[in-house]
Homo-oligomer: A and B are copies of this chain.
Amino acid sequence: MESANEGSTASARDRIRMAYDPALLRTAGERLAQELGRHMAFVQASGGSVLNWFSPQENIARATHLADNVVDSVDPTELVSRFERIVHEMLARGHNLHDPRYVGHQVPAPIPLAGLFDAVGSVTNQVMAVYEMGPWSTAVELAMVSKLAGYLGWRDGEYAGLVTHGGSLANLNALLVARNVTLQTCWEQGLRGTTKPPVLVVQSDTHYSIARTAGILGVGTRQVIKVGLDDRRRMNVVELEQTLAHLQASGHPIIAVVACACSTPIGAFDPLNSIADICEKHGVWLHVDAAHGGSALLSPTHRHLVAGLERADSLVWDAHKMLFVPALCAFLYFKQRKHSYDAFQQHAPYLFDPTAPGLAEYDLGLRTVECTKRAAAYGLWGAWSLFGAQLFTDLVDVTFDLGRELYEKLVYAPDFEPLHHPECNIVVFRHLPPELDGATPAEQGQFQRRLRRRVIESGEFYLVATNLDGTEALRVTLINPLTTAEHLDQLLETLRRMGREILS
């Protein structure tokens, strides 16, 4: 028994040595670079499908098969060859966001080299919770927090900012702070003390993570009060004022007003200065979900869309949307520095090390839901340090301009109907060929859904669907900067051709 263990320990050491072998890392990494280069050229030239469509069952069976049938080997040649086969499979079954015909969700075709900088963090595992564990990842995050805050016109030392794993988590973190500030005792005592239920007041088109947040925080999804929209689907500020006055008169604590810059369905930018005026007058916390639109600050042409954003008490700005870095890299800001500790402040003493006074300020795990974080800002900081700020301005301008171009094409096409005048790179429209004259709204809606599914499963384009007040529609986000006006023409032609196939 003892000798059997000895034997297996020796072989365990060999296996571990090979898994950690620096030469294997180098060779596998070189092959990966070559494979990614080939793949990227193929995808950018629309060499294959946008979405490689397999059913979940097929894909899961294949992934399971590969993990189940491994020949135990410490031979480097065999391992490199197997590594290449696995990478090839991952690429062959993925979604090709770098194909210029990808015009789908608010998830970008990222700057490829941002993914390489991200890999430095992954391979070496630079995590953050306490500064010690990720000194450079902490520094990079704080450098980028400061840089983006500069576009808000905020001064270091006055605000607080951090990076978290996505916009939904950032919204949760922001509204947790707003809840704790509004209801001072609730962190410790729970949400049982108030006489009238506390509420969240939100723009009607806010992302579904906001309602979720009300459920998570114990506020309750029924306590989410929706403010109606104006004719551009922006928050109706007259109704906002009336709603706040009514709620305050009836004694409901208001946790926050949540505005959008921009909203998910059509990319509408709320009138932030008017909303900030009303919130100030009523003494209510203003949270702005600028996950998508925050990046407009980098564009002299488009930054007017987010005028007033700097007046928010808290705001979310996703770099993994319009700053074109891989998911996830969401920035969360608090206008007042002290509020960044209102989420979890009672834990600071626990980790505080008296031999390094002042260092706890840089222990970012004290301020986020995750405790341990990835080096989530490596991609953005690396790409910024390599290409400079102008690239990010260009990316916003080129894609926002493309939204306007698509709109103009839709206006001039008799068989297409844009459902709004786009303010950015999100465009919602319907295809209504002559064959649908006289069709009911339900039939028209079903046609949009069927058309979209046919298109995405064909791999020719990838776009999404939405529903505006009961009207089913197609929805495009121009979030691959390699997409051109010619691709948009091709999109309309593809929709026409597949529409005819459905209707024939």
Given A109-B125, A115-B119, A382-B86, A147:B67 Cβ within 8 A: yes
Instruction: Name the residue on B nearest A58 (C-beta).
Output: B139
Within 8 A of B (CB), among A103-125: 104-105, 107-125
Given A107-B133, A139-B56, A385:B192 Cβ within 8 A: no
Given A143-B64, A222-B189, A369-B172, A34:B44 Cβ within 8 A: no
Q: How far is the CA of A13 from the CA of B485 in the complex (A)?
A: 13
Q: Which residues of B contact A172 (CB under 8 A)?
A: 216, 369
A433 interface contact, C-beta 8 A: no
Copy tally for this chain in the complex stands at: 2
A37 B56 Cβ-Cβ under 8 A: no
B25 A63 Cβ-Cβ under 8 A: no
What 0/1 pattern do residues 143 to 168 of A give for CB contact below 8 A with B? 11011000000000000000001111
Within 8 A of B (CB), among A214-264: 214-223
A503 interface contact, C-beta 8 A: no
Q: A89-97, A278-286, A332-340: which one contacts chain B?
A: A89-97
Instruction: Name the residue on B nearest A189 (C-beta).
Output: B220
A500 interface contact, C-beta 8 A: no
Q: How far is the CA of A111 from the CA of B18 in the complex (A)?
A: 10
Within 8 A of B (CB), among A17-70: 17, 19-20, 22-30, 32-34, 36-41, 44, 51-54, 56, 59-60, 62-64, 66-67, 70
A362 B56 Cβ-Cβ under 8 A: yes
A135 B95 Cβ-Cβ under 8 A: yes
B63 A353 Cβ-Cβ under 8 A: no
Quote the shortest CB–CB distance from A304 to chain B (angstroms): 16
What 0/1 pattern do residues 352 to 384 of A give for CB contact below 8 A with B? 011110010110000001111110001101111
A414 interface contact, C-beta 8 A: no
Q: Which residues of B contact A350 (CB under 8 A)?
A: 208
Q: How far is the CA of A66 from the CA of B386 in the complex (A)?
A: 9
Of the four ranges (under 10, 10 to 19, 20 to 34, 35 or more), the interface on chain A belongs to 35 or more
> Looking at the complex, which one of B113, B190, B354, B362 makes contact with A218 (CB distance below 8 Å)?
B190
Q: How far is the CA of A64 from the CA of B215 in the complex (A)?
A: 39
Give chain A's interface secondary structure class.
helix
A28 B390 Cβ-Cβ under 8 A: no
Q: How far is the CA of A51 from the CA of B136 in the complex (A)?
A: 11
B388 A72 Cβ-Cβ under 8 A: yes
B26 A33 Cβ-Cβ under 8 A: yes
B138 A59 Cβ-Cβ under 8 A: yes
Given A132-B51, A355-B453, A15:B391 Cβ within 8 A: yes
Instruction: Name the residue on B nearest A168 (C-beta).
Output: B371
B116 A133 Cβ-Cβ under 8 A: no
Most buried by B among A34, A192, A362: A192
Instruction: Name the residue on B nearest A109 (C-beta).
Output: B125
Q: A308-316, A393-401, A421-429, A486-494: which one contacts chain B?
A: A393-401
> Looking at the complex, which one of B136, B383, B453 makes contact with A94 (CB distance below 8 Å)?
B136
A187 interface contact, C-beta 8 A: yes
**8 sample A-B contacts, Cβ–Cβ < 8 Å, listed by A number:** A20-B40, A20-B109, A56-B131, A90-B382, A127-B328, A186-B220, A217-B217, A369-B369
